Amino acid sequence: MPEITYRQAVKDAMVEEMRRDERVFLIGEDIGTYGGAFGVSAGMLEEFGPERIVETPISEDAIVGAAAGAAMIGMRPIAEIMFMDFILLAMEPLVNQAAKARYMFGGKATVPMVIRMPSGSGTGAAAQHSQSLETILMHIPGIKVVAPSTPYDVKGLLISSIRDLNPVCFVEHKLLYKEKGEVPDEEYTIPLGVADIKREGSDITVVSSGIMVHKSLKASEILADEGISVEVVDPRTLKPLDVDTISKSVKKTGRMLVVHEAVKTAGWAGEIMASISETPAWDYLDAPMRRLAGKDVPIPYNPKLEAAAVPQVDDIVQEIRAIVHNKY
């Protein structure tokens, strides 16, 4: 299989779906001539023209509102929010309109729209451009939340999201855009709500998404030299969540650590831990479940402080050691 970047995989998914289905279009700020804030849509304006690569004013409320309206009358919009932080400006059309329309119309109306949003820290973008707000979106009934970690996953999941009949918030960590991986040329999809085991192990289950999957895998390699076998589970879809796959892994290893970049308070790690406590895996735990998350602070601009605000590889290594060696 050819090896491409995460950025290219996102673009390929959009281009292929736009070629396949004339109802699909892209809408957002600076997505046309400029090619998107992170270069994802470069060249798409030349192929599809301004009617399907729709440049908008600086108004996330208008972008999401227009996408929701278009979806309700049969189109398949992909709305790009320049930074995930800015989805907060569009919560009314997303939460009160798009998320509820299918339910309120008894299933006679659908809202097949995707909202793509670059998330996370690591680029020096500071407090207002570096947040991880997945949990806020997960809290809303009617919205699906997807957070792929590899080029293969991001393409397959984005195609599935575009074809889904519900609003999908599609989270792309900014540090992943340059990440390379194998992606097949032929068409494929990955179903929403199915987790993936990125590394098999026997001593502890680590659940993480996005950039934290890669940090967890690096930590696993370090710990393998110490004789600690780590299983890394990537939910891929945070809502709906594949509790069954996580539960089976925890039942096998007897230990669990959840790692995410979002702040610890009310983060989605707590939801996963609560879900596991409601499954048979609870009886197989040999140590307390733990979570490693971002500190409850705005993301700093200073690079050293920025790195200190979110989990790093060394933090994951230390946390796993403590759990496996019963230091808690």
Which residue type is seen at 322?
A
Packing angle between helix 151-163 and helix 6-20, nearest 10 degrees? 30
CA distance 46 to 43: 6
**Choosing from 129, 173, 214, 260, which is the catalytic residue?**
129
Residue 288: CB atoms within 10 Å: 11
Q: Is 129 a catalytic residue?
A: yes
Instruction: Give me the phi and psi of 82, to 5 degrees please.
Output: -55, -45
Encode the chain in three state secondary structure: CCEEEHHHHHHHHHHHHHHHCCCEEEEECCCCCCCCCCCCCCCHHHHHCCCCEEECCCCHHHHHHHHHHHHHCCCEEEEECCCHHHHHHHHHHHHHHHHHHHHHCCCCCCCCCEEEEEECCCCCCCCCCCCCCHHHHHCCCCCEEECCCCHHHHHHHHHHHHHCCCCEEEEEEHHHCCCEEECCCCCCCCCCCCCEEEECCCCEEEEECCHHHHHHHHHHHHHHCCCCCEEEEECCEEECCCHHHHHHHHHHHCCEEEEEEEECCCCHHHHHHHHHHCCHHHHHCCCCCEEEEECCCCCCCCHHHHHHHCCCHHHHHHHHHHHHCCCC
β-pair type (3-5, 168-173)? unpaired
Residue 264: CB atoms within 10 Å: 15
Residues identified as active-site:
129
